[in-house]
Amino acid sequence: MKLKKITSFLCAAAMAAGMLLGNGTAVMAEEKAVSCQELGTPLADVRVRQALAYAIDLDAIVDSLFDGKAEKAISFTAPGDWLNAELPVYSYDPEKAKELLKEADWPSDYTLDVVYYYDDQQTVDLMTIIGQYWSEVGVKAQFRKLEGDLAAQLWVAPEDKENGPSAVKWDLAYAAVAALTESEFYNRFASTATNNSSVPLQEGLDELIAASNSTMDTDEQKEAFKQIQAYVAENELAMPLYHQVCFIYNSDDLDMAGSKVGNDQFSYEKNILDWNINREDKTLYTNGGPQEFFWYPMVNPGYMINTELIFDKLINADSSLNPTEGMLAESYSVSEDSLSIEFVLRDGLTWHDGEPLTAEDVKFTIELMLKTPGANAVATEVVQAITGAQDYLDGKSEDLAGVVVDGNKVTVQFDKIAANALQVFSQWPILPKHCLENADPATLQQDQFWQKPIGSGPFMVDEVVLNNYATLKRWDGYYKQGSGNIEKIYMFASGENDANLVKNASAGKIDYAWSKSTDDAKAIEELENMNVEVANIRYTRCFYINQFPHEANIK
């Protein structure tokens, strides 16, 4: 079932009476869901969950609705070395779906309540197509867009984690997870997770999740997550649909010296000092320049490329976001019990203004991360596991006891294993204490520092015209030099979604940029001077499947 049939789905849907409401919400049926099985909800039967997956032709959806610029998902984990290659695959098989539904005694009068929270037409089209696929195997569904407090409607766990009833009022929820670490996909399936609104206590699953969180060793983590992936897939605890990809754009004028592309929402080894630009002024043009201010890195450290050019981290990460060699830290080591990390800073480090960069800056940054509200959940989880974190937050201690400074050595000690600590220290940059020690953590983004920040990275801020452009210049004081010729970086002001990206690329004024927009990718592919590369990222669209009985299906 390729483009022709999917197009007919959409045409039929648009013509059906009552199919589209005024707010663009697709509705397949108005029938009231009814009770059907002793399990409390038909979705508690694994055969039903598997049948719903078999009924959808994801290959056709990716090829047509997404123009091939997405990737069918068989797991939350994106393709790459973290993915279990032996997972069961629910390839399109409507006859198998019908067989499973018959075995499960699927009630023909039950109507699935499916919710989503996106405003775009593509989501409405996707829901319409999926509803048609399900109807072809005898499953009715109604689709509605959620408004208001989404967290309260989507991610509240029931009081009874084994039997329910559910604290939410839907059967399936279409959502997305954009993750730095694999744990962001799978920790939510633990019975103790406060955001687990859909999966009852599963025998053995809590233990697998605990194992994945009990080590900082990347290889051990990969093995643990592959076992979790198999458990989730075999039991269809949720339904991954497709992976959104990242598009990397580079011009013919740019030689990236063999650097790999990766998830540009985060920081990784770009080796930009080795890049060469074929422009007489040795200037690389990009976007992500400041609008009202340079974005502070507490929420997403790679939100704009300028963050990783201006600031350095303790350690680096590869294009798959696996921690690699030291950056500001010349070396680092993890204790045998994974309860401490020792970082040894390079000699002679300085900030762009010439002030020494010391271990005290590292301690200050970690304390600032702990005190700044709204910081990234993964980073917060790690810093809150540092010894003495709660005493420091409660004002019982003037500094964070678990961060010990000894000359150019910093030892970070944990009360419990913080499995994602190395990932955090490879993403969140060290900030200058002498510039920010008087800043209010509660309003950190509004501090004057972010008008023209001082960092320690390979490029320093030069000229800033807010909401217009900014330039960075190569910094001679960086700890390594590189073989490339780029002396200046010109950044057009933009947010993550750059409305002027295609226009600037067409004018020959973009040498490197990224986006998740399929429309941008299609337009830039047509430009003779531009190249488009695709990177798999941890960004998965899926259905969460509510296996708890709720008010619409409780007997």
* CATH 1.25.40.10 for the 313-447 domain, yes or no: no
C-beta separation of 43 from 102 below 8 A = no
Consecutive H or E run containing 362: helix 359-371
pLDDT in tens, the chain (555 residues): 455 566 555 555 444 433 333 333 333 333 333 333 555 799 999 999 999 999 999 999 999 999 888 999 999 999 988 999 999 999 999 999 999 999 999 999 999 999 999 988 999 999 999 999 999 999 999 999 999 999 999 999 999 999 989 999 999 999 999 899 999 999 999 999 999 999 999 999 999 999 999 999 999 999 999 999 999 999 999 999 999 889 999 999 999 999 999 989 899 999 999 999 999 999 999 999 999 999 999 988 887 899 999 999 999 999 989 999 999 999 999 999 999 999 999 999 999 999 999 999 999 999 999 999 999 999 999 999 999 999 999 999 999 999 999 999 999 999 999 999 999 999 999 999 999 999 999 999 999 999 999 999 999 999 999 999 999 999 999 999 999 999 999 999 998 889 999 999 999 999 999 998 889 999 999 999 999 999 888 899 999 999 999 876 655
Q: How far apart are CA 504 and CA 277, in angstroms?
A: 17
- CATH architecture, domain 2-244+539-545: Roll (3.10)
Pairing of strands 403-406, 459-465: unpaired
Question: Among the CATH numbers 1.10.287, 3.40.190, 2.30.30, 3.40.50, which is that of 253-311+457-528?
Answer: 3.40.190
Q: How far apart are CA 344 and CA 334, in angstroms?
A: 12
What beta strand segments (E) does 231-358 contain? 238-251, 254-255, 276-277, 283-289, 315-317, 323-326, 329-334, 340-345
pLDDT at site 554: 56
Residue in the structure block whose two tokens are 């049939």: 5
3-state secondary structure of 311: coil
Structure tokens at 362: 């590292």
pLDDT at site 27: 37
Q: How far apart are CA 504 and CA 509, in angstroms?
A: 5
3-state secondary structure of 441: helix
How many Å from the N-terminal Cα to the C-terminal Cα in the chain?
38
C-beta separation of 267 from 317 below 8 A = yes
Structure tokens at 266: 């985060």
From residue 151, how far is each of 168, 194, 309, 542 by CA, in Å? 10, 11, 34, 17
C-beta separation of 240 from 229 below 8 A = no
With a CB cutoff of 8 Å and minimum separation 6, the contacts of 21 are 27
How do residues 295-314 score in pLDDT, each as one tens digit? 999 988 887 899 999 999 99
Maximal CA-CA distance, the chain: 75
pLDDT at site 265: 86
Q: How far apart are CA 166 and CA 158, in angstroms?
A: 5
Q: How far apart are CA 223 and CA 18, in angstroms?
A: 49
Pairing of strands 469-474, 459-465: antiparallel
Q: Across-strand partners of 461? A: 472
Peptide bond connecting 165 to the previous residue in cis, omega within 30 degrees of 0 = yes
Residue in the structure block whose two tokens are 């694994």: 46
Structure tokens at 458: 């390979």
Domain ranges of the chain: 2-244+539-545, 253-311+457-528, 313-447
Structure tokens at 309: 């050019």
| Centroid of chain to Cα 363 | 27
C-beta separation of 80 from 534 below 8 A = no
pLDDT at site 303: 78
With a CB cutoff of 8 Å and minimum separation 6, the contacts of 22 are none
